[in-house]
Amino acid sequence: MHSRTRRHRLTGVVGALSALLLTVGNPVTATARPTPAPAPRPMTSGPGTNHATDDPFTSARTAWWRQDRFGMFIHFGAYSNLEGEYTRPDGTVCRNAEWIKRECKIPDEVYERQAATFNPAGFDATAVVKAAKDAGQRYIVITAKHHDGYAMWPTRQNKWNLRDHSAFDPHRDILAELKKAADAAGIKLGFYYSIWDWHDPDFGDPATFPRYEKRMYGQLKELIDGYDPALLWFDGEWDADHPTNKWSRQDGADLQAYLHGLNPRLIVNNRVGKREVVDGDFGTPEQEIPAEPVDGQLWESCMTLNDHWGFARYDTHWKSSATVIRNLLDVAGRGGNYLLNVGPDRHGRIPQPSVDRLREAGRWLGTHGQGGAVYGAGHTGLVADPSWGAVSRRGNDLYASVTAWPAPGRPLHLTTKAPFRVTSAEVLGSPRQRVEVTPAGDGYDLTPSGPAVDPAASVIRLTIEPPTAAPAGTGTGLTAQTWPNDSFTGPPAVTTTDPTVNKSYRFDGSPDPQIPADHFATRWTGSIQPRFDETYTLTTVSDDTVRLWIDGRPVIDSAIPHGPKVDKGTVTLKAGHRHSIRIDYTERTGEAHLKLLWSSPSRPQQIVPQRQLYAG
Ligand code: FHN
């Protein structure tokens, strides 16, 4: 339900822009013509296309990301050369980090002159990767290009980069060095890339924006082809001025399709579009931790270690390692990832206070098996989020991470949301300590016999006998009838069996080549078979309308046309029983999405799997 702001096909963009290529360049510093990015590989688009290729909650493509949980963010660019301070001609000092050019109103030529002295000769990729590993951070996301447009690799699209505009050794490539060190250490490497570009002269005018976009696509292809990143972390997608940023939902949808055409394994964040639940693979709450699991999409909380992303020599307001550890446990217990930032100085060195705090976090994670509360762990609906810490589940272990250890003999109460037995309990790192587990009220009382193991957090590992699960189903999916109108009028034009309800048609797709991208309707019918006797939360992500019934009773009614939207309803289901389900979905104009997810105390959020859906 979005009017089309600026519809263009990538092929159109490539076609139109390649003709313009000879008239563009970067007049600020370049005289050479940028090398044209070769036309991208053909990708599917148009009616019949579903851009949702898997369920990010369970797919092999995202498995490493959901397992690793904890990453290192690195903000490093030409701004780092100023180390957070700019002395104006009048002698006054202006302070900022990665936004220093804009916030301190540094003239282009002054900023370019200082960038020409940038020489991060001290950048040691092996040391950076070691700092991440010592911290227990299992992936790295480094700024390849921030808002100032300065590329940290030898891009062929312009001369505003670390190879062509710096005092740095022209034979070095820090992204290649980091990629090599990360691969050697088994650490995944991703790149941050700002869509908003303060430097490219073609960015701010809609008439010339396609020329910028062609260079942006070219740079992203360079990064994918040249460094094989596991992840792209977009930013700068919001509406802004100076220069005007009119990045649209259509632009984001086109870019995401282009990138997955280059590398189907790539993981992309929601800022590729406009941070909607349907954009990219994960949401990006910043400097905050959601109070509970996020509906409809994976998520990653990104944070600074002090108060700045880029290096600021005066900023000594460091988070404690205990705060880092507790944040990480809260994030993991709510099913998210934690991307914690370092800002190297102008020499390329990570500040020692950052290294010290990160190393302490890594010590905690690597001690007594406490990392089990994070790596491969996630949200459990079996218990309520406690006031004394966080609980995460990994297999049949619940990790109760206690940040407020009780007085001797006093219990920790754990509210349960489904019946399960606790078969053993131990304090990690204190093998002789006993933990009394007593049924109490709406759950259990956990009473440790001794002191906390660690002031940051101590972990009580509960091994449980989980609620009984019915055998996995044998379903093949739901019957899907589609009409070439949005009122279910006349006979359906297409009837198929859909293995799952996981559709991102976006702006150009539809259920079938004969169904137009706008004004269609689909009805799914059949039955849904839960594996647990529990109250399930059914979640839809829809654009434009959706209504859902279970056993003939309405569970979701979101019939007012809308943009990408999450709706939820609860229903008590019986393990192994086939409950009838009907979903009525309509697409009016513009963007189109429909996903059906479920969760329960025993079942973390996922697209309802095929084997639990039956056509009849
Ligand atoms: O403007 C940027 C900021 O400089 C920094 O890169 C953060 C990190 O996620 N993102 C934007 C602010 O939301």
Q: Which CATH number do you get for residue 92?
A: 3.20.20.80
**CB 360 near ligand 1, within 6 Å:** no
Which residues, 6+ apart, have CB-to-CB distance to 491 below 8 Å? none
CA atoms within 13 A on the CB side of 83: 13
In this structure, the answer to whether residues 313 and 400 fall within a common structural domain is no
Q: 375 lies in a domain?
A: no
For residue 238, the ligand 1 atom closest to its alpha carbon is 13
Q: Is residue 21 part of a domain?
A: no
Q: Is the distance from the beta carbon of residue 235 to the nearest atom of ligand 1 less than 6 Å?
A: yes
Distance of CA 235 from the midpoint of ligand 1 (Å)? 7
Q: Which residue has the tokens 């822009």?
A: 17
Whether residue 166 sits in one domain with residue 138: yes
- Judge whether residue 31 has pLDDT over 80: no
Q: Is the pTM of this model over 0.85?
A: yes
Tell me: the pLDDT tens digits for 263-308?
999 999 999 999 999 999 999 999 999 999 999 999 999 999 999 9
Q: Within a 10 A sphere around the Cβ of 151, how many other Cβ atoms? A: 28
The residue whose two tokens read 């880092």 is 324
CATH number at residue 595: 3.90.182.10
Ligand 1: centre distance to CA 612 (Å): 41
For every residue of 113-143, DSSP letters joined together read: HHHTT---TT--HHHHHHHHHHHT--EEEEE
pLDDT 10s digits, 149-173: 999 999 999 999 999 999 999 999 9
Last residue of a domain, one of 414, 444, 465: 465
Looking at the structure, do residues 560 and 593 belong to the same domain, yes or no?
Answer: yes
198 and 295 part of one domain: yes
Give me the sheet containing 389-394, strands edge to edge.
Answer: 389-394, 397-402, 458-465, 421-427
Residue 55 within a domain: no
When pLDDT is averaged across residues 226-241 and rounded to a whole number, the result is 97
Q: 1 pLDDT exceeds 70? A: no
Q: How many CB atoms lie within 10 A of CB 186?
A: 9
Q: Whose CA is nearest to atom 5 of ligand 1?
A: 309
* Rounded distance from Cα 262 to ligand 1 centre (Å): 26
Residue of 286, 304, 307, 342 with the most ligand 1 atoms within 8 Å of its CB, for mutation: 286
Same domain, 95 and 233: yes
| Amino acid residing at 393 | R
Residue 24 lies in a domain: no
Give ∠ CA 62-508-588 in degrees, rounded to 5: 110
- Using 50, 70 and 90 to split pLDDT, how confident is the model at 43? low
Q: Is 98 in the pocket of ligand 1 (CB under 6 A)?
A: yes
Q: Which atom of ligand 1 is nearest to the CA of 99?
A: 4
Instruction: Report which protein residue has its CA nearest ligand 1's atom 6.
Output: 309
In angstroms, the CA 85 to CA 100 distance is: 8
Kindly give the number of the ligand 1 atom that is closest to the alpha carbon of 233.
9
549 and 453, same domain (yes or no): no
Task: Examine the domain organization and report whether 161 and 257 are in the same domain.
Answer: yes
Mutate to test the pocket of ligand 1, among 309, 337, 340, 342 (most ligand atoms within 8 A of CB): 309
Q: What pLDDT score was predicted for residue 149?
A: 98
The answer to whether position 127 is within a domain reads yes
pLDDT, tens digit (0-9, with 9 covering 90-100), for 416-469: 999 999 999 999 999 999 999 999 999 999 999 999 999 999 999 999 999 999
Do residues 354 and 447 both lie within one domain? no
Claim to verify: residue 74 and residue 201 sit in the same structural domain = yes
CA distance 187 to 442: 42
Rounded-to-integer distance, Cα 186 and Cα 224, Å = 18
Phi/psi class of residue 485: alpha, beta or left (left: φ > 0; alpha: ψ in -120 to 50)?
A: beta
Domain that includes residue 346, residue range: 63-365
Q: 215 and 103 in one domain?
A: yes
- Do the strands 70-74 and 553-558 form a parallel or antiparallel pair, or are they unpaired? unpaired
Instruction: With respect to residue 442, please indicate whether it lies within any of the assigned structural domains.
Output: yes
In a domain, 43, yes or no: no
Which residue's C-alpha comes closest to atom 13 of ligand 1? 286
C-alpha 275 – ligand 1 centre gap (Å): 13
* Predicted confidence (pLDDT) per residue in 291-350, tens digit: 999 999 999 999 999 999 999 999 999 999 999 999 999 999 999 999 999 999 999 999
The answer, yes or no, to whether any atom of ligand 1 lies below 6 A from the CB of 73, is: no
CATH number, residue 430: 2.60.40.1180
Q: How confident is the model at residue 44 (pLDDT cuts 50, 70, 90)?
A: confident
Report whether residue 286 contacts ligand 1, using a CB cutoff of 6 Å.
yes
- Note the pLDDT of residue 388: 98
Cα distance between residue 378 and residue 67, in whole Å? 9
Sorted by sequence, the CB contacts under 8 Å of residue 430 that are 6+ apart come out as 450, 451, 453, 458
pLDDT for residue 8 is more than 50 = no
Q: How many domains does the chain have?
A: 3
Q: Is 22 among the domain residues?
A: no
Three-state secondary structure string covering 333-396: HCCCEEEEEECCCCCCCCCHHHHHHHHHHHHHHCCCCHHHHCCCCECCCCECCCCCEEEEEECC
* One domain, residues 350 and 454: no
Whether residues 437 and 338 fall in one domain: no
Note the pLDDT tens digit of each residue in 454-504: 999 999 999 999 999 999 999 999 999 999 999 999 999 999 999 999 999
Residue ending a domain, choose from 309, 330, 365 = 365
Q: Are 95 and 314 in contact (CB under 8 A)?
A: yes
Contact predicate 378/66, CB 8 Å: yes
Domain end residue (candidates: 465, 490, 524) = 465
First-to-last C-alpha distance (Å) of the chain: 31
